Amino acid sequence: MSRSAHPAGPRHADVLPEGHYSGPAADLNELDSKVWAQTVTRDDDANGVVTVGGIDVKTLAERHGTPAYVLDEDDFRQRARAWRTAFGHDADVFYAGKAFLSRAVVRWLHEEGLNLDVCSGGELATALSAGMPADRIAFHGNNKSTDEIERAIRAGVGRIVLDSFQEIVRVAHIAQSLGKRQRVQIRITVGVEAHTHEFIATAHEDQKFGIPLAGGQAAEAVRRALQLDGLELIGIHSHIGSQIFDMSGFEVAAHRVVGLLKDIRDEHGIELPEIDLGGGLGIAYTSDDDPREPHEIAKALTEIVTRECDSARLRTPRISVEPGRAIVGPTAFTLYEVGTIKPLDGLRTYVSVDGGMSDNIRTALYDAEYSVALVSRRSDAEPMLARVVGKHCESGDIVVKDAFLPGDLAPGDLIAVPATGAYCRSMASNYNHVLRPPVVAVKDGESRVIVRRETEEDLLRLDVG
């Protein structure tokens, strides 16, 4: 999804499509710090085994099995803190729980001063059970059930992001019947669509999320929300895409959201105090990606909003952002054991691992790009063009479409795919009744399972026969 549609893939190893992916790195043993979690290094005293959080991957594989998501806790905390610090006290950072949520993660976020986005009863339950204060939780979704809305209001969530005309009435009604006034934002679609290096400023608002700004619909939603006693309208919300590197999409979005704030002031005589610009900031999946640092993003967004508000003569509202991928994505890699290796003459070598599309659906779903490295030892063998595939009964079961791995790769070697912290475990499935891998947090030479591996017992428990 990050690039325009790819050709089906190279037919011959020597006629690779231009710009499809980089050729083999000069040294396949090198680990690009852009795509690997911060504490990842190769230990050249120990045959080149890779370590993370002070533990080598062979020990991790022995202790926890493969496949496993290995998450660098220090890296997670540092990224969370960097976002928090970058935005300072006049803004809020909501971590988007859908990227990856567990109770340990909720505690880290709480400790680092971040807020949390949830978009289902299950995510809300996870957040509350780990002690996230309800007033630091935002509830999202285009089809929240009555039960979910009621639970969120009862719990006292800080905001519900209203996504439709029906929901405005529904939330107001439920809040009122509970004797409460719920803080809400209205999610609008501003006609900007942003992905990676391009954005479209005139996209059709042809999507399931939000209320279109076009045709005065957003203004009408505001009118209705302001009339309902059960609601306290605190701001406008806009989320424009995912894996975004180019800030100009946010610029256009902010311009349009502020335009609405101005219209609201002119019509109702009120200045809404908050504006949420959503998430979607990109990370490096391969060495070709160059994401911005949180402080650059914070500076750019704050300047954009301030400038727009100044020219509309509005007080600058409190800004919030909702990064998910940009915090958790780079902090984890998936550790796999190599199984069957199948060289196809003149094409490529298929390297099968003990997981696949059940632990990483992004390649099949979005044509996502990843890199991969041999991590259980170093190798100076010639690079071979490889495709890393899973063990599922599906030919689209690809983890890494095009990658170079050492030519002496053998069954039993450990390979790792970096930048799998976001949208991998959270989108994992039980396809083929493959068991979902654990998430293992590493820090200061210790490893701790924060989400355990699924067992066959777990599978059979749901099958009540």
Ligand X SMILES: *Cc1c(COP(=O)(O)O)cnc(C)c1O
Footprint of ligand X on this chain (CB under 6 A)?
Answer: 96, 98-99, 117, 140, 239, 242, 278-281, 322-326, 422
Cβ proximity of 417 and 399 under 8 Å? yes
Smaller CB distance to ligand X: residue 51 or 286? Answer: 286
Smaller CB distance to ligand X: residue 120 or 176? Answer: 120
Task: State yes or no: is 424 an active-site residue.
Answer: no
| Cβ atoms within 10 Å of 107's Cβ, excluding its own | 14
Q: How far is the first Cα of the chain from the last one, in angstroms, to the nearest whole number? A: 40
Amino acid of residue 408: D
Cβ proximity of 49 and 375 under 8 Å? yes
Q: Using CA of residue 334, residue 340, residue 341, residue 346, what is the dihedral sign?
A: negative
Considering 119, 309, 393, 424, which one is annotated as catalytic?
393
Smaller CB distance to ligand X: residue 56 or 75? Answer: 75
Distance in Å, CB of 243 to ligand X, minimum: 6
Peptide bond into 24 cis (omega under 30): no
Distance in Å, CB of 332 to ligand X, minimum: 14
Distance in Å, CB of 211 to ligand X, minimum: 14
10 Å CB burial of residue 226 (0-12, 13-18, 19+) is middle
Distance in Å, CB of 118 to ligand X, minimum: 11
Smaller CB distance to ligand X: residue 187 or 348? Answer: 187
DSSP state of 240: -
DSSP state of 88: G
Cβ proximity of 73 and 443 under 8 Å? yes
Q: Which of 138, 126, 55, 208 is nearest to 425 (CA)?
A: 126
Amino acid of residue 259: G
Distance in Å, CB of 324 to ligand X, minimum: 3
Q: Using CA of residue 202, residue 206, residue 209, residue 215, what is the dihedral sign?
A: positive
Smaller CB distance to ligand X: residue 50 or 80? Answer: 80
Which residue numbers are catalytic? 393
